[in-house]
Structure 1
Amino acid sequence: NISYGTFINFRNRNSTQSPGNLTVDEALPYLFEHSDTWYKDSVLHSYSYGVAHTKEEVEANQLIPSKWINPLETRLPLALNLKIYCFYGIGKDTERAYYYREDLDPASKTNVTIDRDVNVGEADHGVVMGEGDGTVNLLSSGYMCAKGWKMKRYNPGGVQVKTFEMPHEPDRFSPRGGPNTGDHVDILGRSSLNDLSLRVAGGKGDLIEETIHSNIMKYADNVQIWDDEA
């Protein structure tokens, strides 16, 4: 079995280039150390990947623009009439983690490369596959909708959040998946998504019932982030 707890994995761990399996928190410093300066500067300038565990942290982050991209560090607007509808596809293999190896090619400029020889369990040529819509994994698509925005510090205004999952059921002979695709891009042509979008645009979003087919609630409960208010 392959654990999704690690993001970058090495079969052979015997040097500074392959120090051992790394979680996301451990993988970022590793990537910064083994990539060009422009990449590190771009990530640190444009992204924030922490977690605000208290209301005080969330409110302080409202004054830091670099935090606004991360829903786990900021809150939803205090807009009583705002409603959020989470429409996303599920049931299509999606990249989740990777196996790397040292790049021993003397002509190569990289230190490590994808270990394409790993084909075991959920790993396909070094890429570990999981649940999602083919591009975004299920936890990224569904966590905030299923649980994160149900916490008071991330949603102090009580914005209504509804989740509607759409299983990937592509037509066998359709290059774009047909009317029941759940693919990340092709879902824009899905019949039921168009119906849902028109209901929201027409002011009838209240008629949409929350629909969850995946195990997102179970996965969300395993995330070690808890509400600091009862």
Structure 2
Amino acid sequence: MKLVMVFFVIGLITAFRPAWAKDEQQKDKTYKMDEIVVTATRTEVKKEEVPAVVEVIDALDLDTTVDRNLVRVLKKNSSIDVIDYPGVLSGISIRGFRPEFSGITKHSLVLIDGRPAGATNLATILKDNVERVEILKGPASAIYGAEAMGGVVNIITKKSKDKIKTSIAVGGGSFDTHYESITSGGRITVWLDFDASVSNKNQNDDFKMGNGHKRENTSYKERYGNLRLGSSLTENWRIDVKGDWYG
């Protein structure tokens, strides 16, 4: 009888051993997720380790947003308030502060590549020149000063370092609107890379409201140009010279 019980127990252990091994394998199996590194806190840290609410608009969000204007991109892909003013002006509002685009009493700070952008108008920045946007919500005055009471928007521009690529875009729309742009970027030599873009947009007819009435003098033209030259001096040091034009 004892011999039968011994064989019975051994049989049970043998039967359940594969199941235990499978469970152990499932527990030990891990999945590595892509890490999102943000620089809105002046240091490179993982997004989940930032002691604040951070939103990241990445390259995929930029590519899948039809509008070419960064203001429209922010409206569609973030939870901050973005307001368009007449005359191709825009302002942002974070955590309830009044939206502003210039002045000395701003409460939401805009950075370009980690540096204060001053009175830069977001409506003049095209998404073609942007790699990603990081939005830090909540007070950051201890790091950036009084202008960051509501939060910080850090616009990180493209720095193409691979083979040169060029893209051309042409579009049209209501009110006799047409748009053309050309964007190029990449490595020229081992130590020199560049990004450049030129665009033109015309709305030749005045805006027509739903009741058929036209708003006089609402036709407009936009011209934009951008050029960046850069070089990686060492692994940790880099120099970039860039300029842009809007009219």
The reply to whether TM is greater than 0.5 is: no
User: Shorter-chain TM-score: what band?
Assistant: under 0.3
**The structure with more radius of gyration:** 2
Structure with the bigger percentage of helix: 1
Q: TM-score normalised to the size of structure 1?
A: 0.23
Query: Greater RCO between the two (CA within 8 Å, min separation 6)?
Result: 1
